[in-house]
Structure 1
C-alpha cells in the first residue's frame, strides 16, 4: 500500500505544453482524498468529475477545496476485498483558458470555383493563422474530448478545416473575384472567411478572435491556361499598335516558322511571306484617315522594329513601313 497516496493531495497543472488545450491530472491516481486542494494558475481552468459525472467547472484562478467520499486509510481498509481500489473515482481535467494565438492553418485541397472573367474553373490554395479562446469548456469536454487525457490545437484544426472549406468556396463563387483580383481583395476575403468560420468555432465551444490569410496560390493548370490567354492578348495589342491585322500576323508567323524548319525549300516560303507582307503594307487606304498623334506613331515604330528584329518582316518591308509612319509625323 502506497502511504503517500493516502494523504491529502495538492493538485495543479505544472509546465503546460505549447498548444495544449486539455490535460488530465493523473499524478495522484483517480482516488483523490477528501479535502484535497486544487490550485489554478492565471489562464487556466479545470473540470472536476466525480463518479462519472461533471461536478464542477472552475474558471477563476485561486485555491479550491475538493470534497469526495474518499477518507484516507479508512476507505482503503474498507476496500481490502477490492484490491484496495475505491469506486469513488474522480477526474481532474485542466484546460487552457488563455488565448491561443497564431495557430497555423492551410487548405489541404484546392478551393475550386468558376472564374467570372475567364469562364473556366480555377483552383486556389491559401494559408495563414488564427487565434481562439475557449468559452464553453464543459460543452467541448462532453461532446468532443470524451475522456481523452490530452487534447492539442492540431486536433481541433482537423475538425475546423473539414468544415470551413465549403463555405469559403461558396463565398468566392458568389463574390466573383477573378484570377487577377484575388491579391487586391485578400483582406476582404479574410474578413468574410472569419465570419464564415465564427459559427464553426462557436459550435465547438470556442471564440474566433482573428483570422488572417498570409498567402495564396493557384494550381499549375490554372496558371498555364491564364498565361496562354495573356500571351494572345499581348500579341493582339502589339498587332493593333503596329497597324497589322492580328490574323494576318499569325499567318506570317506560321510561314516564317515553316521557312526556318524547311531549309532551302523554306527560303521560297520566306520570300513569299515577305511579298504578302509587302503587299499588305503597300495597299492604298480605302479612306483617308486623320493624322495620328505623334505618341501613337512612336509606339508603332517601336512595334515595327520588334517585328523586324523577330524576323517577321524583311528589311525592305521595315524601311517602307517606317517611312510611311514617319511621313505621318
Structure 2
C-alpha cells in the first residue's frame, strides 16, 4: 500500500542544505505535489523558474501553501490545477540575500614595473571585499544552469585569479609613489572594485566594496621606509639627508643588499644629495647677500645702494 502511493504525498519546498557561505541552493525535485508548502527563512529569497524563465520571486520569510498562495502569483502558471497523481514540474532557487565579506591576499609578490628595477618592485597586499547577488535573471542564465549550488569560495577563486593583474594596473597608473602606496590605497581600491564589478556583472553579482588593508614590501626596503618615517618625525630633515646618504654609501661599500634595495637606496640617495646641494646653495646665497650689504672697499653700510656713499665703490653683488 505504501509503495503504491509513494511520491504522491505533499512535500515541503525549503532550503535543506543551508550553509552561511552558500550563495544559492537549487531545489529541483521531480515535481511539487498538491498540498505542498514553501518555507522561506530570514535572509533568503525563493525564485520559482521553469526552463530558465523566472515565474515568480518571493522575498518575505514565512510558511506558504503553494497551491493557494504561490501558484496564483506565478507568471505563466496561474491557472495550474493539481491532480491526485500529478504535480507541477518547476524548479525553485533559494538565494542567500546577505552581503558576503571575503578576505583576500596576494599568494606571491606582485612585481610592479618601474624604470629603475628591470624585474619590477616586489609588493604584496591584503584586504577584504564584499559582494552580493543583485540580478536573478543573469544568475540563472550564467550559473544556475550548470550548478546545483554556489559558494563564497567559488567567487573568491575567480577574483583572486585576476587580482594580481588589477593590482599591477592600478598601482602603476599615473605614476604612484612606490614607497608610499598606502597613501593611494583608496584610489587604487576604487579602481580595482570597478574592474571586478565589470567581471562579475554578467553573473548577477555586484562587488559592493573593496578594501586594501596594507601593502608589504621586501624586508630591506620596508626598513628603509621605516627609517625615513622615523627621521621625519625627529624633524631634522637636513641631518637625516646626510645620514641617509651616508647609509647608502656605506651599503655600497659593504657589498649592498638585494638589487631592489641597492637601486631603491641609490634613488633615495641621489634625491637626498640633490637636496643637500640645494640647501648649501641657499646658505651660500644668504651669506653673499649679507656680506654685500657692506662696502667691501671701506666697510661702510650700503643700505641697498648700487655705489658706496662713502668711497664710491661699485657694489656688484647688491
Distance 1:53 1:239 in 2: 66
Q: Distance in 2 between matches of 1:167 and 1:99?
A: 23
Alignment equivalent of 1:24, drawn from 26, 31, 48: 26
Q: Which has the larger radius of gyration?
A: 1
Indicate the SS of the match to 1:38: strand
Q: How many residues of Structure 1 are paired with residues of Structure 2 in the alignment? A: 229
Q: Corresponding residue for 1:92?
A: 92
Over 3 Å counting, the alpha-carbon distance change for 1:59 and 1:65 in structure 2 is closer
Q: Does 1:182 align with 2:187?
A: no
Residue 19 of structure 1 and its aligned partner are, at CA, apart by 1.4
Picking from 6, 18, 26, the partner of 2:8 is: 6
Could you say if the C-alpha distance between residues 218 and 142 of structure 1 is closer, same or farther in structure 2, counting changes exceeding 3 Å?
same
Task: Indicate if the aligned counterparts of 2:112 and 2:168 stay in contact, CA closer than 8 A.
Answer: yes
Instruction: Map 1:139-288 to 2 at 5 A.
Output: 139-219=138-218, 223=221, 237-238=242-243
Name 1:135's counterpart in structure 2.
134
Q: Would the aligned equivalents of 1:99 and 1:133 in 2 still touch at CA under 8 Å?
A: yes
Partners of 1:105 and 1:128 within 8 A in 2: yes
1:103-118 alignment runs, 5 A limit: 103-115=102-114
Q: Do structure 1's residue 71 and structure 2's residue 73 form an aligned pair?
A: no
Specify the alignment match of 1:263 in structure 2: none
User: What TM-score, normalized by structure 2, do the two folds share?
Assistant: 0.58
Offset of residue 154 of structure 1: 0.6
Where does structure 1 differ by over 6 angstroms across 4 or more consecutive aligned residues? 224-227
TM-score, length basis structure 1: 0.56
The answer to whether 1:41 aligns with 2:41 is yes
Alpha-carbon separation, structure 1, partners of 2:141 and 2:33: 25
Aligned to 2:260: none
Deviation, 1:58, is 1.0
1:57-105: per-residue Cα shift (whole Å, max 9, x none)? 4142253424667633x34xxxxxxxxxx9x7432221112222x2122
